[in-house]
Structure 1
Amino acid sequence: MVTTTPLPFSPEQQAWYEQACAKLNSRRLQKLLFDLTNIHSPTGAAREASQFMADYLSKAGMTASYRPMNAQSGNIVAEKRGSGGGASLMLYSPIDTHLESDESDRPWVGPSHYVDLHPKARMQDDWVFGLGASNPKGMIATLTEVATALIEAEVPLTGDLIVAMADGGMPVDLAGRDHAGMSSGVTHLLSRGVAPDFAIVMKPWNWVYHEEPGMGWFKLKVKGTLGYAGVPRGTPGFRSSVVPAAHVILELEKWLIDYAERNTSGVVKPHGWISGVRAGWPERPAFPSAVTEIFFDIRINPRTSPGDVKAQFAQFIEVLRQRHPEFDLDWEMVGSVPGGTTSPSNWIIQSALRGWEHIEQRLHLTPDFLGGQTDGAALRRFGIPTARIGWPWPAEGSPEPLAEGMGGMGATYIPDLMPCAQKIMYAVIDTLTRKRAELGL
C-alpha cells in the first residue's frame, strides 16, 4: 500500500480550489463529449478530431496547436502559462479509438449493431454513447473541462498547465498508417519539445496508480504439411498443423495464467491473452494448412524487461517440446513495450492521492491489480513522473444495450466523471500554485 503524505491546502489554495470546482460544468462536458464522439478517430487517422480539440482548447483560453505527424493524423498541445517559477503539469489522454467501425471489424467484434460500436454519437439523459465515448473521449472531455474551469475561475497559476492528446495510443500496429499505435503519437510528441515536469493520465478504474505494465506480442507457429481432405488419417508424409495447435493453445493458456501469478508485483498483475489463430484458406477447405499461427499479448511488469519475458516464454516452449516431441514449433516476439513506474513518494503521486482521498473521504488503500497498458508507461520511460487516476468503469445502468466484453468502450455516464474531475483539479491546484522547490524540483 502506498501511504499518502498529508499536506493541507492553504486558505488561498482552498478558495481557489472551491472556485475552480464551482466552474466545472457537467452539461458543457457532455456536449463536448457528444461532439467529439461524433468525429471518427481510428488509430492513425485522427486528424479531424485532433484539429477539433485544438480549436476547442484555443477558444477555452489556452495557446493550442495541432501538430501533424503525417497527412492523416497529428497531436494536440495546449498551454496556459503561469506567472513563472513553478512546475509544468501535463494532463494527457490518447485520442484514437481501438476499432475502425467498418467491414474490417466484422465478424471479429461480434454482433455489430450495438450503439457503443459506432462513431455516430447518441445522447440520452446523462449518458453519451458511441465508439470511444468512454475511452478515450470521456477522458479527453473531462481533462478539457478541468482546464476550462480552471481558466474561468482565474486561478493565479505559478506553474504552467499543459493539455495534450496524441494519436497512436491504442495497442495496435497499423502498417498502412505509418505503423500507428503502441504509443507512437505520444513518443512523437515528447520527442519534439513537450517536456513537462509531471503528468496526469486519466484512465478507467477509480484508483491512483503510480505504475503500468508494458506488453509483449508473440507469434507461435505450429507446423505440419500441406494436406488434402480426401486422404485417410495416418497417410505417410501428412501431418496436421491445426489439431496439434489446439493442444498447444490449451497448454499456452495454462502457462499464461501461471505467468501472471509469477510476475505479479507492486500494483501490476501482467495478464496474457491469446488473441487470434490463423491457418489455411477459407476458400480452400479441402486443403489443410501446413502452418497454424497463434497470436497473443503478454503484459510486462515494470520490474521485468521484455527480454526477460521472452526468455520465460522460450523456457515454456522448451518444456513443451520435451513433453510433445511430435510438435514442430517455431515462434518470434513481434512487438515489445516496456512498463514504466514512478516512485510512490513523488510529488505528483502524492498530490493525486490527496485529491482522491479529499473527494472519496477515505484512505486510498491497496488498489486492484492493474493489467491495462497505456501511454502512461511511455511517459514514465521518458522520465516524466506520472500519476494515473480514473473513475468507476464500466458504467452501470445503461438505458441502451451494449456490446459484451470490452465492446466499443463507448458508454459514459456523465455523473461518474465529475468526481474524477474534482480529484484532478485538486492535483492541478496543489501543483501549479507552488514554486518548484516546494515540489522537490
Structure 2
Amino acid sequence: MLHATTPVPFSAEQQKWYEQACAKIDPKRLQQLLFDLTDIHSPTGATRAASEFMVAHLGKVGFKADYQPLTEISGNVKAQYQGAGGGASVMLYAPIDTHLDCTPEERALLTGPATEADMQPRAQRIDNWVFGLGASNPKGMIATLTEVATALIEAQVPLRGDLLMGMADGGMPVDIATRQHAGMSGGVLHLLNRGMYPDFAIIMKPWNWVYHEEPGMAWFKLRVYGTLGYAGVPHDIPGFRSSVGATATVIPELEKWILDYAENNTSGVIKPHGWIAGVRGGDPERPAFPSFLTELFFDVRVNPRTSPADVKAQFAAFVADLMARRPELDMDWEMYGSTPGGTTDPQNWIIQSCKRGWEHIEGRPHGTPDWLAGQTDGAALRRWGVPTARIGWPWPAQGAPLPVAEGLGGMGATYIPELIPCARKVMYALIDTLTRERGEMGL
C-alpha cells in the first residue's frame, strides 16, 4: 500500500539554490551530448568507446571520473564530485549499453529490416529531436542526468554530500555469450563491489512516475519431444510423433499460464508480465526431416516479493499439470536465467524526496503509479542494499518527424523538451538530499 508523500519543505536557501541550479539546465547542451553519445555504438558487452567518451566529458564538467574496464572492449563509468562532508552520497545511475547490435544477422531474425531512424547505430537530429539506437533508453537518461549534474556544479550549490555518477555495461536483459556473457546487471554489480557504493541512488527510466521497486526475471526453455520423421511418409505412420505439432498444442497452454502467472503474482506496483520469445527446432538444410525436438523459450518477470525459486516451482506445477492432462506430450524444461526483483521502503528518504520533486513539477499528488514490469539495474541496486528511486518521463515520444519502429523498436526517438521536467525533478531531489546533514535523512 502506498502512502501520501511526506512533506519536508525547502528552506529559503534551498529554494534559492534549486532555482539557480534549474536556471543552469541547458536543453541545447543536453541535446548535443545526447547526439554525440548516440553516435557511438555501444551494444551490450562492447561499450568501451561510449564509456571512455563519458569519462572524458564528466572530467571536463568537474567530476573526478575514471574508466572501469570489464573486458578489453567494454567497461563502466565511475565519477565523483565531492561535497564539503557530513552529508549523504547520491549516485545518479543509468546503463550505457543498448539492447541491439543491429548486425545483418540480427535483422534477419530478430528485428526485421530495421530501416527506421530509431533503429540505426548512428545519430540524427531534427529540431528538438534526436534519433538513433538507444537515443531514448539508455542514452537519453545519461544525457539528462549529466545535464542535471552539470547545472548543479555550475550553480555552485554548497553541497554537504557527494554526488556520484555511475554508468555500467550489462544493463540490458540479455546474455551475450560471445562477450563473456555480458548483460543481466553484471556491470552495475562490478561498480558496487569496487567502491561505488552510495547512500542513495536515483535511476532514470521511461514512464512519468516515481517507483520504489522493480521486478527481476526468470528465463525458461520448454522442450517438446517427438521422433525424427520424413516428409515422404503418411501422417498416420505408426511410431512417428511430430514435435512441431505437439508444440502447437503447448503454446496456447503456455500463453494462458503466463497471463495467469502475471495476475497471481501482482503486488506492490509490479505486475510481472511475460512473453514467449521464440520457437526453435529443425534444420533448414533438411526440410524433409521433421526434428525430434522443438524448443520454446520465454521470460517472465519476478515480483520483489517472489523469489526466482518460487517462480520455478510455479512453472514446474504448470508443466506437471499439463502432462497429466495431456499424457501424449513428452517434455522437459529448465530455468536458464534468473535475477530477483528489488524493493526499497516507500518511506525511505530518497523515494520521498523524488516524490516531492515530482509533485513540485507536476503540481499534483503523486498517487499510485501505473503497473510496472520493466526490469532495470535498479533491481540490482536495491538487492545489494542501496535505497533506490526510479524516476522518468513520458514515453514513447509522440509526433516524431522521422519514421520510427512500431512496438519497442530501438528505444531511440527523443524529444528534448520532454526530458526537462524530469531533469528538474531530479534536481529537486539532489538539492533536497545533498545539502543536508546525514542525520536529517535517518542515516
Q: What is the distance in 2 between the residues matched to 1:431 and 1:323? A: 57
Q: Which amino acid aligns with 2:258?
A: L
| Residue 38 (str. 1) matches residue 34 (str. 2) | no
Deviation, 1:237, is 2.0
Q: Deviation digits for residues 158-214 of structure 1, max 9, x if unmatched?
A: 000001100000000011111100001001111111110000000000000000000
* Partner of residue 427, structure 1: 429
* Partner of residue 290, structure 2: 288
| Residue 106 (str. 1) matches residue 107 (str. 2) | yes
Determine which of 370, 375, 378 is the counterpart of 2:377.
375
TM-score in terms of structure 2 length:
0.99
* Partner of residue 416, structure 1: 418
- In the TM superposition, 1:134-213 aligns within 5 A as 134-213=136-215
Deviation, 1:112, is 1.3
Deviation, 1:152, is 0.4
Q: What is the distance in 1 between the residues matched to 2:322 and 2:426? A: 48
Q: Which runs of 5+ in 1 are unaligned?
A: none
* Partner of residue 118, structure 2: 116
Q: What is the distance in 2 between the residues matched to 1:131 and 1:200? A: 23
Contact 1:174/1:180 (<8 A) preserved: yes
Q: Which amino acid aligns with 1:270?
A: P
Deviation, 1:71, is 0.2
* Partner of residue 262, structure 1: 264
Deviation, 1:2, is 3.2
* 1:106 match: secondary structure: helix
Deviation, 1:361, is 0.2
Q: Which amino acid aligns with 2:94?
A: S
Contact 2:212/2:343 (<8 A) preserved: yes
Contact 2:191/2:197 (<8 A) preserved: no
Q: What is the distance in 1 between the residues matched to 2:284 and 2:115? A: 25
* Partner of residue 250, structure 1: 252
Runs of 4+ displaced beyond 6 Å:
none
* Partner of residue 231, structure 1: 233
Q: Which amino acid aligns with 1:24?
A: I
- In the TM superposition, 1:255-404 aligns within 5 A as 255-404=257-406
Q: Deviation digits for residues 19-40 of structure 1, max 9, x if unmatched?
A: 0000000000000000000000
Contact 1:210/1:343 (<8 A) preserved: yes
Q: Which amino acid aligns with 1:61?
A: G
Q: What is the distance in 1 between the residues matched to 2:259 and 2:209? A: 24
Q: Which amino acid aligns with 2:271?
A: K
Contact 1:90/1:198 (<8 A) preserved: yes
Q: Which runs of 5+ in 2 are unaligned?
A: none
Deviation, 1:110, is 2.3
* 1:424 match: secondary structure: helix
* 1:64 match: secondary structure: strand
Deviation, 1:104, is 2.3
Contact 1:46/1:73 (<8 A) preserved: yes
Q: Deviation digits for residues 358-406 of structure 1, max 9, x if unmatched?
A: 0000000110000000000000011000000000000011111111110
Deviation, 1:9, is 0.2
Q: Deviation digits for residues 48-99 of structure 1, max 9, x if unmatched?
A: 0000000000000111000101101000011110000001000000000000
* 1:134 match: secondary structure: coil
Moved more, 234-243 or 36-45: 234-243
Q: What is the distance in 1 between the residues matched to 2:78 and 2:149? A: 13
Contact 1:183/1:378 (<8 A) preserved: yes
* Partner of residue 9, structure 2: 8
Contact 1:111/1:403 (<8 A) preserved: no
Q: What is the distance in 2 between the residues matched to 1:389 and 1:2? A: 17
State the identity %. 71
* 2:66 match: secondary structure: strand
TM-score in terms of structure 1 length:
0.99
Deviation, 1:425, is 0.3
Contact 1:37/1:120 (<8 A) preserved: yes
Q: Which amino acid aligns with 2:83?
A: G
Moved more, 111-120 or 17-26: 111-120
* 1:91 match: secondary structure: strand
> What value does the CA root-mean-square deviation take over the aligned residues?
0.6
